Amino acid sequence: MPRYVVERTFPEGLGIPATEEGAAACLNVVDNNADEGVTWVHSYVSDDKGKTFCVYDGPNPESIRKAATRNGLPVDRITRVSVLDPYFYR
């Protein structure tokens, strides 16, 4: 399955509380993604919570965009990536 980095901007900052409601919101994203054949692997969040860089597995960028729309999430850019592991060179 191809891997992608999805860049998002949150002008007001990302607001997922560390509560049961926040956990439920994340699981809802996971469920909506699965309907499009997309898996959220993990995300990096900037210190100001204004940007996220999310790692996804999915069949194509269109599926990731559809899942984002279903989840009400912005998409600035989707970039197909592969892993560069420093231990590969040993």
CATH number at residue 53: 3.30.70.3090
Confidence of residue 90 (pLDDT cuts 50, 70, 90): low
- pLDDT per position as a tens digit, 5-24: 999 999 998 888 788 888 88
- pLDDT per position as a tens digit, 30-85: 999 999 999 999 999 999 999 999 999 999 999 999 999 999 999 999 999 998 88
Q: What is the count of structural domains for the chain?
A: 1
Rounded CA Rg of the chain: 14
Do 30 and 69 contact (CB within 8 A), yes or no?
no
End-to-end CA distance of the chain: 26
Fill in the amino acid letter for 68. A
Domain of 71?
3-89
